[in-house]
Amino acid sequence: MKAMILKKLGSISENKTPLELADLPDPIPGESEILIRVSACGVCHTELDEIEGRTPPHTLPVVPGHQIVGKVERIGGKTGTFAIGDRVGVGWIHSSCGKCKFCREGKENLCLEFCATGRDINGGYAQYMTVSEHFAFGIPDTFSSSEAAPLLCAGAVGYRSLKLSVLKDGQSLGLTGFGASAHLVLQMVRYKFPNSKIYVFARSEVEREFAKELGAVWAGPTEERSPEKLDCIIDTTPVWKPIIEALKNLGPGGRLVINAIRKEEIDKDSLLTIDYPEHLWMEKEIKSVANVSRRDIREFLEIATEISLKPEVQKFALENANEALVELKSKKIRGAKVLMID
């Protein structure tokens, strides 16, 4: 099979072709696994974190990619959930131990043996991949494969972030950064919380205009103060500064949810410090998001189907994965980027 593989870690700013196109043997599904012929795979900032070593793969080389849609090509002897030809998706969660207290409570995202697709095991930047049938999800006919791919991570982790924000209808929500995840959260909030106002903070004027197109009542630069103090803010950026700026915009009792697997190093030229009265006083809260659970993906796919939530996507061929990653690194973003493979 054709696959884009990562052989060594390094800065994508210095090496703009970190992935190599390779021919690999087709994977063989285990007894409880399915073999997926991949149709589309979303490109996520987490791939940059893997390539640049912030959340490095356990072994190299590895095939990245964890927003995967394709058709079941082959099934193991002990499977019964899917049939050959079914269209399925795979997200960041590839497996967990199934035995610990977190797994028993449906919180596999906190399992210490959490296995990430495309980092701990080969992912979807390839023509084929395998996964346990218990960690694959049926894809509704409402979505094309390119539309469905971003829902499996950008959408699902955005949904988890929104749950952790404990937003109530009528409360105000801020979104820092406006890429794949935030543009889906905004649309979901407009449906689930019609009386809530959404404020967007983004460095790019293009992103700010896009946010207003989708229904944000206000959009401004990261450092700008919002017209009112906000009840909740979800940070979707890979850097630290927006967190400090977001805390300034939170009202009393407000909650900041950080939607990121890793954060990039702090810019040494601009020291960031927390001023207790300005940033944390008045019982403000900070909550991090760790991975996603299977429940998150299932519930989000149901909501996305119910409201016909369609991500805006930019399509790339598999062999152009490096181009998509470089654009992501340089903040050239509108919606989600997706590799078209089959």
What CATH number should be reported for the domain holding residue 22? 3.90.180.10
Query: Rounded to a whole number, what is the distance in angstroms from the first to the last CA of the chain?
Result: 11
Same domain, yes or no: 320 and 282? no
Residue 83, phi then psi, degrees to nearest 5? -115, 160
Query: Is residue 147 situated within a structural domain?
Result: no
Residue range 231-275, pLDDT digits in tens: 999 999 988 889 999 999 999 999 999 998 888 876 554 567 788
CB-count exposure of residue 202 (10 Å: 0-12, 13-18, 19+):
buried
The CATH code of the domain that includes 275 is 3.40.50.720
Q: Which residues contact 246 (CB under 8 A, 6 or more apart)?
A: 174, 176, 201, 233, 235, 256
Single pTM value for the model: 0.93
Query: Is residue 256 situated within a structural domain?
Result: yes
Same domain, yes or no: 6 and 121? yes
Same domain, yes or no: 41 and 125? yes
Same domain, yes or no: 23 and 135? yes
Residue 135, phi then psi, degrees to nearest 5? -120, 25
Confidence at residue 280, expressed as pLDDT on a 0 to 100 scale: 84
Query: Is residue 300 situated within a structural domain?
Result: no
CB-count exposure of residue 121 (10 Å: 0-12, 13-18, 19+):
buried
Query: Is residue 307 situated within a structural domain?
Result: no
Residue range 6-57, pLDDT digits in tens: 999 999 999 999 999 999 999 999 999 999 999 999 999 999 999 999 999 9
User: What is the phi-psi region of residue 282: left when phi exceeds 0, alpha when psi lies from -120 to 50, beta otherwise?
Assistant: left
Number of H helices, E strands in the chain: 9, 17
Same domain, yes or no: 336 and 229? no
Using CA atoms in the order 176, 179, 185, 190, what is the torsion angle rounded to 10 degrees? 90
Average pLDDT, the chain: 94
Residue range 169-221, pLDDT digits in tens: 999 999 999 999 999 999 999 999 999 999 999 999 999 999 999 999 999 99
Same domain, yes or no: 6 and 67? yes
Confidence at residue 266, expressed as pLDDT on a 0 to 100 scale: 67
Query: Is residue 151 situated within a structural domain?
Result: no
What is the domain extent for residue 164?
156-288
Following DSSP, what letter does each residue of 225-277 receive, concatenated?
PPSS-EEEEEE--SSSHHHHHHHHHEEEEEEEEE--S--PPPPTTS-----II
Instruction: Examine the fold and report which residue of 272, 288, 304 is the final residue of a domain before the chain moves on.
Output: 288
Same domain, yes or no: 335 and 265? no
Same domain, yes or no: 11 and 74? yes
Task: Determine which helix (DSSP H) or strand (DSSP E) holds 180, and give its type and residue range.
Answer: helix 180-192
> In which band, very low, low, confident or very high, does the pLDDT at 155 lie, cut at 50, 70 and 90?
very high
Which residue(s) pair with 117 in the sheet? 121
Same domain, yes or no: 78 and 177? no
Confidence at residue 268, expressed as pLDDT on a 0 to 100 scale: 55
Q: Which of 333, 319, 289, 300 is nearest to 89 (CA)?
A: 300
Residue range 107-153, pLDDT digits in tens: 999 999 999 999 999 999 999 999 999 999 999 999 999 999 999 99
**Rounded to whole angstroms, how far apart are CA atoms 128 and 24?**
10
Q: Which residues contact 37 (CB under 8 A, 6 or more apart)?
A: 70, 71, 72, 73, 127, 128, 342
pLDDT at 77 over 80: yes
> In which band, very low, low, confident or very high, does the pLDDT at 310 lie, cut at 50, 70 and 90?
confident
Confidence at residue 331, expressed as pLDDT on a 0 to 100 scale: 83
Query: Is residue 171 situated within a structural domain?
Result: yes
Task: Give the number of residues written for the chain.
Answer: 342
Same domain, yes or no: 268 and 166? yes
Same domain, yes or no: 215 and 244? yes
Q: How far is CA 271 from the centre of its chain?
A: 28
| Residue ranges of E strands in the chain | 2-6, 19-23, 33-43, 68-75, 87-90, 93-95, 115-116, 128-132, 137-138, 173-176, 198-201, 218-220, 230-235, 250-258, 285-288, 313-317, 336-340
Same domain, yes or no: 326 and 281? no
Confidence at residue 261, expressed as pLDDT on a 0 to 100 scale: 85
Q: How many domains does the chain have?
A: 2
**Rounded to whole angstroms, how far apart are CA atoms 76 and 95?**
16
Query: Is residue 298 situated within a structural domain?
Result: no
> In which band, very low, low, confident or very high, does the pLDDT at 281 lie, cut at 50, 70 and 90?
confident
Task: Determine which helix (DSSP H) or strand (DSSP E) holds 295, and give its type and residue range.
Answer: helix 294-306
